[in-house]
Structure formats: C-alpha cells, structure tokens
Amino acid sequence: MDCVFWVKEVGREFDRTRGHFYSAVGERRSSCASNLVAGWGNSRCLILVLRERTMKITDVKVTVWEWKDIPPTRYTLRVKSSGSRKTTMGLVRIITDEGIEGNAFLGSAMAPAADDCKLIVERYKTLLVGQDPMDREKIWQTMSAWAMGNTMRIIGAIDVALWDIAGKHAGLPIHKLMGSYRDSAPAYASSAVFEHIEEYAEEAVSFKEAGWSAYKIHPPGTAALDIKICEAVRKAVGDDYRVMLDSTWSYDYPDALRVGRAVEGLGFYWYEDPLHFDDLYGYVKLKQVLSIPLMATEMPSRGPFSYSPWIMERATDYLRGDVAIKGGLTSCLKTAHTAETFQMNYEVHHGGNSLNNVANLHLIMAIRNCEYFEVLLPDSVQKHGLVQDIEVDKNGMVHAHQEPGLGAQIDFELIESNKVADL
C-alpha cells in the first residue's frame, strides 16, 4: 500500500537516517525511513511515498485454563450435567510482528476445549504463521474447505481473533469495520431446563418485570409436558408478552405438529428446532400446516453453503447461527447477508462462551436482519473469563462495544491463576 503525503513550503529536508521529516508549516514523522521515497512535485511540494510493509502473523499460542464449580445444568432432552463440574477453556492468541495480538475463547461450560486447543497449535499454526492477518477471507476459505463439525469451532476462534487484530489495527470496534447498523439491540432471556412447571412461569415473570422484551423456553423435551409449560408461562406473563419455544430437536413429526399447534394457539413468537436438525422433509411438511414462524438451521456445524437447501425448499422462516458453530464472524456475516436477500432474519444464537458472545454482539450491530441478542441462562454457567461481561440494561437492551477490536477486557488474572498449560 502507498501512503502519499504532500508537504508545502519545505523548510528542512527529510532525514532518512532518523526517519523524521520536518517542514516549515508542520511536522510529520515516520519511523519507516527505509520505505520512504521522496521526490519534488509542482509548486515546491515534496511528495513522500511510504511503501507500507505488510503485517505478518509471527506466532499462534493457546493458554488452557480450568473453569471450576460449574453448577448442574440442562438445555436439551439428552445433553445435561448431573452435578457441579469443571471444564477446560482456551485463550487463543494470534501474535503479529507489529505487536498487535488478536484473541478469542475456545470451550464452554458443556464442551471442554482441551482437544481443540491442541489442534490449533498442531494443525493450524503452520497455516497461519507468515500470513497477513488482514487477509481474513483468504485464510477463512483455506481453513473452511471441507470443514465441518468440531473443526468449525476452531475456525471460528481463529476468525474472531483475526477480526480482533483488524479492529485494533484500524483503531475501530469490529462492528464499525463491518459497517455498523445500530449501537444497541433488545435481549431475550433463554431458559435452562427446569424440573417443575412453575419455575418457568416464575422466571418468565421476573424477566418481564425487569424490562426484558421476550422470554424463550427450553422445555424438557416431552410433548405433553412441554405444552403444559407453555400454557403456564403464557398465563403467568399475559397475552401481550413475547414468548418463544426452543424444543432442541426433541420430537418426531406427530409430536412436533401437536406442540406446534398448541404454541400457535398461545400466540408464541417463534417455534424453534422441534425436529432433528437435518430433517428437511419434516420441516417442509410442518411449515405447510403451521402458521407460527419456524426457526431451524442452528445445526449442523457447517458454513454458509449448508443453508442453501433450507432456503430453496422453504423449510424455515428464519436462519440461525453463531461464531462457534458456523465458523466465525466471516461465515456468519456471509449468511446474514444471504438471508437478507430473501427477506429473512438471521437470528444469532448464543455463542457458548463470553468472548464469543461479544463477537456475536458485534455481528448483530452490523446487520439489520437480526432482532434479538440471546442471553442463555443462568449466568453462572455462561459468563466467565471477562472482567466485565455483557449486561442488559433496565430497558432490556444490550449495547455495542466501542473500543478497538472486540473491545472486551479479558480477565488475564483469572486465566493465569487457573492455567493448565501454555501451548
């Protein structure tokens, strides 16, 4: 890249050995003396062309730490933790020759990161070192070819860290690099699975009273009980409060239809993942007989190409994804823009850890077609590793970070005190 400076009425010559140029009008300095080419232009105007050296990735490191005392939690019919537990998390560090470092988190309360951390260093480090970190698209295309499943989490973390570098390099928050659409968005509370019906109703009322604009139910996953939970929540919050149901791929088609008709009658806002994530045929049938909007495509863990059949077969009303499952901000931004061309929302899913949620928030601030920021409950299972996590204000809104890059302050002291390994 060539940066051209015009300096009129030159009072002193450029000192190439020291890397400074002084003029009678003002003073401009460059520390890259060896890259400067000087020549006289018209009207005693000295033109300096700075041939800017490309930034390079010099190292990729991962710090593995332990997250302890996680309370028992359940979100789906089959995935749960039975008691207090611990997990491993990873702090990804992509280091450049300009001293700028990009960061991301790997892991969650329900998914240990130890294996992913090793893979970054063993498989992806050699691919990254020597690359220009600003070449995100090229790097993403190289990493994502034939990638699926757990590999997408690794690609996602690398991509988030590269966006962090870009923002820090430019002195801008990531959403500004993408092209900001807004600086705040409404949040909704997204429940864990409870043992008792009244627990859902009480929690929904508490968030309504706190000013949040919507509440989403994760039910146990058995149709008859799930319907009773939905009825109890609707009765508790009234007809004017927005409620959604996420059944986390729990039903066969007859039960999905039964529950769908029930929540449709209760005026729920959307009906999410009732069938197995790859049951395209079932979703097409379900969408033909229900008027409540359907949401699918959170899974599988693939990139943008996996959405094509869902759009073309008209099997869902919303598209869904997040930086961990879908392979980073680059991937999610592509899909959000694709969804917009079909007049569809791309509702961003919870990111699995605190720094992923910060990345998700930047994405939401840069697109029009996402209505909500998801806050998965409880905090004790979802918030970890930041000095200050994302908070919902009294009006139920979350706000954009305005510092360069991700803009979140990582709790390095916590990570260091619980460190397992440096890779």
Instruction: Identify the CATH number of the domain defined by range 57-172.
Output: 3.30.390.10
- What lies within 8 Å, CB to CB, of 77 at 6+ separation is 220, 221, 222, 248, 249, 250
For the cut 60, the answer to whether the pLDDT of residue 264 exceeds it is yes
- pTM for the predicted model, two decimal places: 0.88
pLDDT tens digits, residue range 398-413?
999 999 999 999 999 9
pLDDT tens digits, residue range 297-311?
999 888 899 999 999
Q: What's the gap between Cα 300 and its chain centre?
A: 16
Contact 342, 297 (CB under 8 A): no
- Across 190-202, average pLDDT: 96
Q: Centre a 10 Å sphere on the Cβ of residue 418 and count the other Cβ atoms it contains.
A: 18
**Confidence grade of residue 212 (pLDDT, cut at 50, 70, 90):** very high
What phi and psi, each to the nearest 5 degrees, are found at residue 214?
Answer: -160, 160
Q: What is the rounded average pLDDT for all residues in the chain?
A: 89
For the cut 70, the answer to whether the pLDDT of residue 174 exceeds it is yes
**Confidence grade of residue 175 (pLDDT, cut at 50, 70, 90):** very high
d(CA 189, CA 268): 15
| Count of residues making up the chain | 423
Compute and round to an integer the Cα radius of gyration of the chain.
25
Contact 264, 274 (CB under 8 A): no
pLDDT tens digits, residue range 318-347?
999 999 999 999 999 999 999 999 999 999
Least confident stretch, 67-76, 261-270, 383-392: 67-76
Contact 232, 200 (CB under 8 A): yes
Q: Residue 205: enclosing H or E segment and its boundaries?
A: helix 197-209
For the cut 60, the answer to whether the pLDDT of residue 26 exceeds it is no
pLDDT tens digits, residue range 115-145?
999 999 999 999 999 999 999 999 999 999 8
Q: What pLDDT is attached to residue 58?
A: 98
Q: What's the gap between Cα 113 and its chain centre?
A: 17
Q: What pLDDT is attached to residue 127?
A: 95
Q: Look up residue 116 and give its two tokens.
A: 């992913």
- Across 96-119, average pLDDT: 94
Q: What pLDDT is attached to residue 2?
A: 40
Position 143: which residue type? M
**Confidence grade of residue 3 (pLDDT, cut at 50, 70, 90):** very low
Cis preceding linkage at 300, omega within 30: yes
- Across 416-423, average pLDDT: 96
Q: What pLDDT is attached to residue 84?
A: 65
Q: Which of 79, 81, 88 is nearest to 112 (CA)?
A: 88
State the CATH class of domain 175-407.
alpha beta
- Across 257-283, average pLDDT: 98
Q: Residue 286: enclosing H or E segment and its boundaries?
A: helix 280-289
Q: What pLDDT is attached to residue 229?
A: 98
Q: What pLDDT is attached to residue 76?
A: 78
For the cut 80, the answer to whether the pLDDT of residue 187 exceeds it is yes
Q: What pLDDT is attached to residue 83?
A: 66
For the cut 70, the answer to whether the pLDDT of residue 49 exceeds it is no
